[in-house]
Amino acid sequence: MRAALDEAIKASDKGEVPVGCVIVRNSRIIGRGHPLRETLQDPTAHAEMLAITAAAEDAGQWRLDDCTLYVTLEPCPMCAGAIVNARVSRVVFGADDPKAGACGTLFNVVQDSRLNHRVELVRGVLAEDAADLLKAFFRQCRAGRGMKPQKRKP
């Protein structure tokens, strides 16, 4: 989880929401990610999505069934769906997300028995550290010192 927190700090340094994700197989990080939504102007560029893509590339396959995904903030529905589709074995996350959490807070996509894959779930690991990063970032945003301005098309 400390490596995921490092990714979150990288995101914050870029003016992105401080969420970090790493994917581990056999005690080795095979995928890393932090949000690049503002940088790429891509609504799908969440930490988990980028880490899953990197891990699949490293593994040479899309199935990540022997991997653990560590993320500082509870995955949203999009990311939870990608986690299920990638067959990730286990998710460990820090802070709950009361606005978009899809791993137990609002929904529990990763453990829904109607889907063809279920994920082992561990909640609350270094939750306070993760939440503190988010609170500090949004405090800076409100003070006008955070997040890059959005590019708007005419």
- Alpha carbons 103 and 71: distance in angstroms, whole number: 12
* Residue 51 reports pLDDT greater than 50: yes
| Active-site position among 48, 57, 120, 128 | 48
Query: Can you give the pLDDT at residue 149?
Result: 44
Give the relative orientation of helices 77-85 and 47-59 as an angle to the nearest 10 degrees.
Answer: 10
* Residue 48 reports pLDDT greater than 60: yes
Q: Are 70 and 93 in contact (CB under 8 A)?
A: yes
What is the DSSP annotation of 2-40?
A: HHHHHHHHHHHHTTS----EEEEETTEEEEEE---HHHH
Residues paired with 55 in a beta bridge:
none
* Residue 154 reports pLDDT greater than 80: no
What's the mean pLDDT in 47-65?
98
145 — pLDDT class (breaks 50, 70, 90): low
Lowest average pLDDT, out of 25-39, 43-57, 135-149, goes to: 135-149
Q: How confident is the model over 63-113, as pLDDT tens digits?
A: 999 999 999 999 999 999 999 999 999 999 999 999 999 999 999 999 999
What's the mean pLDDT in 104-123?
97
Please provide the average confidence, as pLDDT, over all residues in the chain.
94
8 — pLDDT class (breaks 50, 70, 90): very high
What's the mean pLDDT in 40-54?
98
Query: Can you give the pLDDT at residue 152?
Result: 43
Active site residue 48: yes
